[in-house]
Amino acid sequence: MSEPSAAIRVRSLRKAYGEHEAVRGLDFDVMPGEVFGLLGPNGAGKTTTVEILEGYRERDAGDVEVLGADPWQAGTAHRERIGVVLQHSQLPPLLTVREVHSMFAGYYERPRDVGEVIELVGLAEKAESQVKTLSGGQKRRLDLGIALIGDPELVFLDEPTTGFDPTARRSAWELVRSLRSLGKTIVLTTHYLDEAQQLADRVAVIREGQLVRIGTPQELIGVAPEVEVRYREDGRDVVLTTSEPTRLLAELTSAAVADGRELEGLEVRRPTLEDVYLGLVDEEAVE
């Protein structure tokens, strides 16, 4: 049993579309105030899982609780408490940024101040511009502003930076961090590893609808003890992996010094989440 205080509780969740089993028995908890990342390749079942949590899809089996309610049965009072950024959804292109915020603010009993939210998501200069004139990154920030307008406790972000250039991605990350500092619980799906590593307190790696591993980014990296040592010799790349990098380096360097050679391009790499993740995904693929 999970602690009753979990913001989200998922047990043995299953969902199939016809023959295709998109989610095959997921279990996880999301604690209040944490940024929880659902990480996996395209088609892993991330969006299906999130849409079940948002109340868009009915599960086939398992238990799901979001803020103490079954999202499929929950009514308008429940929706006062959640904010949603969908992967694909266009807001009315001919309304201004301010008008769209006011429109959605009208749906909530206790909305946040429209001007404040526009400021928060960095669209103050665009407040009077029509939605259709916004860049891709600005539209995503508008989506986020709309998700925050009802002052939700829990925010779902489905691939919030897909298609962003690196600068836009960094500023979106800053925004998610500022949400976290406001005490929001955030569920984030992404297929970008660096994004999960940068933002998430805990990451669930899923593949083919199943949980492969769950933990903090550090824990996931810690799972793989191997360190990579690379250098170039006779024009070839040499890559050695070891669990005892100190000894390996000492051997390599003392041999090189004794021969009066230079180890060209010597590099010691700790694994990133990406290496771990690809390892996990490959492992599964072999089975």
Partner 1 sequence: MSSSTAEGHSARGAGSRGGLARSLALLGHEVRMQQVLFWRNRESAVFVFVFPPMLFLLLGSVYSDTIDGERAVNVLLIGMLGYGCANTALAGLAISLVVRRESGMLKRLRATPLPAWTYLSAVVLSTLVVFLLQMAVTILLGFLLFDADAPVTWVGLVLVLLVGVAAFAGMGFGVASLIRSDEGASAVVNLIVLPMAFLSGSFGSTNDYPEVLQKIAEVLPLTYLLRLTNAAYLHGEYLTSDLTAVAVLVAWGLGGYLVAAKRFAWQPRER
Q: What are phi and psi of 132, to 5 degrees?
A: -65, -15
Nearer to partner 1 by Cβ, of 54 and 159: the residue is 54
Q: How many residues bind partner 1 (CB under 8 A)?
A: 33
Query: Using the rule CB under 8 A, which residue among 12, 61, 63, 92 binds partner 1?
Result: 92
- Tell the smallest beta-carbon distance from residue 46 to partner 1 (Å): 16
Q: Taking the complex as a whole, how short is the minimal distance between the CB of residue 160 and partner 1, in angstroms?
A: 15
Measured CA to CA, the distance from residue 223 to residue 171 in angstroms comes to 30
- In the set 12, 17, 63, 261, which binds partner 1 (CB under 8 A)? 17
User: Least CB distance from residue 116 to partner 1, whole Å?
Assistant: 19
Q: Which of 95, 127, 240, 266 binds partner 1 (CB under 8 A)?
A: 95
Q: Which residues in the 108-167 window bind partner 1 by CB under 8 A?
A: 108-109, 146, 150
CB of 97 to partner 1, least distance (A): 14
Contact 53, 13 (CB under 8 A): no
Nearer to partner 1, 188 or 196 (CB): 188
Name which of residues 29 to 88 contact partner 1 (CB under 8 A): 54-56, 58, 72-80, 82, 84, 86, 88
| Interface with partner 1, residue 16, by CB under 8 A | no
Binding site for partner 1 (CB under 8 A): 17, 54-56, 58, 72-80, 82, 84, 86, 88-92, 94-95, 99, 103-104, 106-109, 146, 150
